[in-house]
Amino acid sequence: MCGICCVVTLCSQRAISDFLSEDMLCHLRRRGPNSSQQLIKTVSDLSYQCLFSGHVLHLRGLVTPQPLEDANNNVFLWNGEIFSGVHVGNLENDTEIMFHHLASCSSEMDILSLFSSLQGPWSFIYYEAPRHSLWFGRDYFGRRSLLWQFSNEVDRAFCLSSVSGCSESGNEWQEVPASGIFKIDLKACAATKSLSLTLFPWKYSCREKAVEETFINVLDQVSKDLPNHVHLVLNESKLCLRAPVIPLNKAVSKASGVCPSSNFSNVNCEVSVETLEKFLAEEHKKKLACQFIDVLNEAVKRRVLCLFRDPDQITREVPSMSHKRAHIAVLFSGGIDSMVIAALADKHVPFQEPIDLLNVAFMMKEQARHRGTTKRHTGHEVQLDLLCPQESCQDPAADSGTHSPCFDVPDRITGRAGLKELEAINPSRTWNFVEINVTLEELKKMRKQRINYLIYPLDTVLDDSIGCAIWFASRGEGFISNQGELKPYKSPAKVVLTGIGADEQLAGYSRHRVCFTKDGSEGLNKELEMELGRISSRNLGRDDRIISDHGKEARFPFLDEDVVSFLNSLPVSEKADLTLPRGIGEKLILRLAAKELGLTASTVLPKRAVQFGSRIAKLESNSEKASDTCSRLKLLSVDEL
């Protein structure tokens, strides 16, 4: 994980360093605490300047300061992980490997072929000095953040950065679309004193019919959010990147997931572990579940082993516990996604190494009361509303040895239950269940100080809720149980595994049921295709900025290219059966896989979003809708500070 930034000026009267504010440098350093460097390239005869700023989080091979520069004056900034496609040895650094490959490229096609071959998350900036070209972009899913900001026509400057900062000019930042790779001909731009971007888009195949029409649609979509003085064009040769996954299988067949018990219709199908066992008695279902386990297991393996482990490092958190420090953490609610990731991580993380399970809870706002009319629950749902007298809700830091019921939110309860399941699967593993408790006061403080800049340029109530929950969870500061007492603990893990991508591909959200009820499997297919298509702009850039702020790297096993291709190969009826009730039908293939892995009660937990499970949703306002613009995320300009 790194913080990368590039500023380019075309005949500007301002010093190029003025475009990189101190607060942005601070944000970038937090992403990359192990090395920080800057490099300025001035091309006087063409009247352009480039400033490159690199900030490195050391995860693989030797520490490799960025930006990298070679004998031909090429410059490279890399924020990514190569898990497959290009060979990276166990002791090698992928930044150096990528730079070596790029420097040997002799054409645009060579560069596109290189990036088409990669598997793993990345964003990059590459200055190709001999051709005065600046290349940049994000991977197919947009798993790494990259923002751009264009100054006005007078300054004729633009900036690319992993994270934004305060803006004196008022020019807005936007996320670089994960639509392909962009190239800027700096020589031509300096000559015309205007800015033009060339796009090389992602396609499943550049031989597809109507490819030109598709290119034009992508061009229009990206262009609509650019300032009027910034031009976007398609490369003249109609070159493209090859998508790293196969297209979604949209075949519609009659749902094969009829409840296996002849005593029940699908509507009344019992939500139980026994029902999953009956599904697994069907040879086809069992085979698919095992195939899914195999491909997801490999994805998790790559993400927990591609990591430098210093055998001499020891933890200083709790002396009486394991002397080994955790290198891997899981954003952990006890739900099906995080349980499967934790169970698979257990197969590959060295047996003597702890795994940190990061479980966040926000102090409940008020006492939950049973009123005259009780909320109706279906038979398989568990009532998680707990009585919590407000006067007993004290800051746990004041008495770390006692348990505070004010943080017994739904995700805390399912998290503890999930911990017991994992301990049953592998009792010899040290599972650090990290109880991360957040008060309203700390939430407000850290949102203002840090989180609002990381969520930006997103700005909805939903972004606020999810962003704040993930920030506190990934920080990893909380309490773990040590011989029956809660002791302060801060997770040292640099890699944070998260389950994002499971719901988007396996129909995990309630809106998927609504869509299925209204438009059937055809409508559901369209919805799932849209979910994955927009995940870069709705989720991943934000989550990358949030988690990286702690000098940690987010890794997404469910968005591994092989996992996505496997799931895309299946008809939707093999992945989910929304004629079955909640807790069974959504993410059915994942539930079956979980049962095969030895998990129990967690396999039939219904989906619960983090904003509700952690109880952050509506903590400050009960009248807001998720899609509303969140006033709490307002960024202050430099003049207001």
| 3-class DSSP assignment, residue 402 | coil
What percentage of the chain reaches a pLDDT higher than 70?
A: 85
| Per-residue pLDDT at 316 exceeds 90 | no
Among the ranges given (33-47, 363-377, 554-568), the one the predictor scored with the smallest mean pLDDT? 363-377
Please report the beta strands in 328-421, taking only residues with DSSP state E, as ranges in sequence order.
328-331, 355-362
Selecting among 2, 159, 388, 515, the annotated active-site residue is 2
| Upstream peptide bond of 396 is cis (omega within 30 degrees of 0) | no
| Per-residue pLDDT at 169 exceeds 70 | no
HSE of 160 in the Cβ direction (CA atoms, 13 Å)? 29
CA 333 to chain centre: 16
Q: What mean pLDDT do residues 452-480 have?
A: 95
Annotation says 2 is catalytic:
yes
| 3-class DSSP assignment, residue 310 | coil
Write the single-letter amino acid at 419. L
User: Burial level of 65, CB count in 10 A (0-12/13-18/19+)?
Assistant: middle
Write the single-letter amino acid at 150. F
**What are the backbone dihedrals phi and psi of residue 488, each rounded to the nearest 5 degrees, phi first?**
-60, 145
| Per-residue pLDDT at 536 exceeds 80 | yes
How far is Cα 547 from Cα 545, in angstroms, rounded to an integer?
6
The closest of 544, 622, 604, 557 to 145, measured between CA atoms, is 544
Residue 398 contacts by C-beta under 8 Å, 6 or more apart in sequence? none
Residue 258 contacts by C-beta under 8 Å, 6 or more apart in sequence? 266
| 3-class DSSP assignment, residue 306 | coil
pLDDT digits (tens, 9 = 90+) for 277-302: 999 999 999 999 999 999 999 999 99
How far is Cα 6 from Cα 4, in angstroms, rounded to an integer?
7
How far is Cα 499 from Cα 109, in angstroms, rounded to an integer?
35
How far is Cα 418 from Cα 297, in angstroms, rounded to an integer?
19
Comparison of pLDDT for 208 and 215, the residue scoring more: 215
* Average pLDDT score over the chain: 87
How far is Cα 475 from Cα 594, in angstroms, rounded to an integer?
28
How far is Cα 329 from Cα 475, in angstroms, rounded to an integer?
11
The closest of 134, 160, 163, 138 to 149, measured between CA atoms, is 160
Burial letters 603-617, b for 16+ CB under 10 A, else e: bbbbbbbbbebbbbb
As a whole number of angstroms, the longest Cα–Cα distance in the chain is 82
| 3-class DSSP assignment, residue 89 | coil
Among the ranges given (449-453, 512-516, 629-633), the one the predictor scored with the smallest mean pLDDT? 629-633
What percentage of the chain reaches a pLDDT higher than 90?
A: 68
Split at pLDDT 50, 70, 90, the class of 194 is confident
Split at pLDDT 50, 70, 90, the class of 562 is very high
Q: Determine the pLDDT at residue 395.
A: 52
| Per-residue pLDDT at 198 exceeds 60 | yes
Among the ranges given (7-21, 523-537, 622-636), the one the predictor scored with the smallest mean pLDDT? 622-636
| Per-residue pLDDT at 372 exceeds 50 | no
How far is Cα 157 from Cα 175, in angstroms, rounded to an integer?
17
Helical H segments across 510-551, by residue range? 510-533, 535, 541-548
CA 245 to chain centre: 18
Count the residues in the chain.
641
Domains present along the chain, CATH in parentheses: 2-242 (3.60.20.10), 274-309+326-369+381-640 (3.40.50.620)
Q: Determine the pLDDT at residue 620.
A: 77
- With tokens 């850039």, the residue in question is 541
Q: Determine the pLDDT at residue 258.
A: 58
Q: What is the CA radius of gyration of the chain?
A: 25
Q: What mean pLDDT do residues 229-247 have?
A: 92
